Amino acid sequence: MVDFSHNMKRSRRLQMCLLLVCCFSVIGMTMGATPPKAMNVPFSKNYMPTWSPDHIKYFNGGKEIQLHLDNWTGAGFHSKESYLFGYFHMHIKLVAGDSAGTVTAFFLSSNNNEHDEVDFEFLGNRTGQPYILQTNVFTGGSGNREQRINLWFDPTKAYHTYSVLWNDFHITFFVDDIPIRIFKNNKKLGVKYPFNQPMKLYSSLWNGEDWATRGGLEKTDWSKAPFIASYKGFHIDGCATSVNAKFCATKGKMWWDQQKYRDLDAAQYRRLMWVRRKFTIYNYCTDKVRFPKMPIECKADKDA
């Protein structure tokens, strides 16, 4: 005899599961979301050398470059345009082997005394030790908001994507679409937030042996030079504007201004907390020696 009651219960459970899947899909669509995929364009479309152009090597029709660091100099490049809000990313393969003392940087910065800045800094290490990723946010010329994590993969074996989503609500750092840090707009609490100073994008490979590895205890081994960092993915999805502009002409109309990008969704927050629990090795918010009084944004925002 067939147990129809069992089959009906099983059917109800299946329908409930499908309903939950649909609900979570809708939530993911209406809250946080992954930015659109970028186009693959040549370096020269959006960038130009900043210094030591002879230490920049071009491949694949300019769609891939390398920065070289030796005991004479490193190299750097910057965007041709300045931007006020947007999504900024780069595919980077970091210096392989013994990279102690080297710093590979990818950041946004305005050019004035009270500048705004949003930093990725990759701190080299001795062979076998994890790369340290340091992030920082400067507002109105003031920084001191360092956070450090150990990367959970070997960033020298393949390209990984490092990106920043910057809008009027938050600045979020991503590693391969995983949020590792969020700095929210807390202007109402008196915390300065970058909103009216256009920034250029910069990247560089340079010698930071005075501080980069174990506080400067590990020095650069120049017998391993040249040190090489590789780049591709030179598309920029931002509001290009004059360096003196105070307002983006398309503000409110771009995809990064829309409701679903005004915060992370539940899944993204879980991944952020995963990074905090397993890989964070320094957070200025919890440094009571440097900050006996917790910074306002840390006290107000558990996600800082």
The 3-state DSSP class for residue 251 equals coil
For the residues of the chain, what is the DSSP string, one character each? ---HHHHHHHHHHHHHHHHHHHHHHHHHHHS--PPPPPP---HHHHEEEEE-GGGEEEEGGGTEEEEEE-SS--EEEEESSEEEEEEEEEEEEPPPS--TTEEEEEEEE--STT--EEEEEEEP-STTSPPEEEEEEEBTTB----EEEE-SS-TTTS-EEEEEEE-SSEEEEEETTEEEEEEE--GGGT-----SS-BEEEEEEEE-TTTTTGGGTSPP-GGGPPEEEEEE----EEEEE-TT-SS-TTTTTSGGGSGGGSS--HHHHHHHHHHHHHHEEEEGGG-TTT-SSPPHHHHH-TT-
**Greatest C-alpha distance within the chain:** 86
Which one from 121, 146, 218, 297 is the annotated catalytic residue? 121
Is 64 annotated in the active site?
A: no
CA 267-273-277 angle, to 5 degrees, is 145
Which one from 64, 117, 209, 297 is the annotated catalytic residue? 117
Is 146 annotated in the active site?
A: no
Residues with a known catalytic role: 117, 121
